[in-house]
Amino acid sequence: MALPILLDCDPGHDDAIAIVLALASPELDVKAITSSAGNQTPEKTLRNVLRMLTLLNRTDIPVASGAVKPLMRNLIIADNVHGESGLDGPAWTARHCRNRHLHRKTVRRWS
């Protein structure tokens, strides 16, 4: 039986991957997600949770905004690491696949 959890995160890149892994795990049952300030502002981390759940087609999971600042220190925005939105990154260029049927050739060769 999967363990029911509430996932509290501040989605920059690391927590975006944590959301993906938690939702993919058969051992976890994500009941809700709260977003807190951390890598970015609370507004941006909330937006990032909602974007991730939309991307993963899991808009059924309840989401709430959590802590607006850390309890023990001032909020430090890591936009130098996570970018302006908290999920920024390099602009990847599209790459075209040269051989769409490579898997068939590989299977035949190794069969």
What pLDDT digit, counting tens, does each position of 11-45 carry?
888 999 999 999 999 999 999 999 998 878 889 99
Residues ≥6 apart with Cβ < 8 Å to 79: 40, 86
**Is 56 a residue whose pLDDT tops 70?**
yes
CA dihedral for 55, 6, 73, 71, sign (positive or negative): positive
Q: One-letter amino acid identity for 35?
A: S
Q: Is 67 exposed, middle or buried (0-12, 13-18, 19+ CB in 10 A)?
A: middle
97-103: average pLDDT: 61
pLDDT band at 107 (very low <50, low <70, confident <90, very high): low
pLDDT at 5: 97
pLDDT at 76: 82
pLDDT at 18: 96
pTM of this structure: 0.75
Neighbours of 19 (CB within 10 A): 22
For residue 87, give the nearest of 7, 11, 9 by alpha carbon: 11
**Over the stretch 64-92, which tens digit does the pLDDT of each residue have?**
998 888 888 888 887 777 777 777 776 66
90-107: average pLDDT: 62
Total domains in the chain come to 1
Range of the domain at 64: 3-110
Rounded Cα distance between 13 and 45, Å, is: 11
CB 40 within 8 A of CB 77: yes
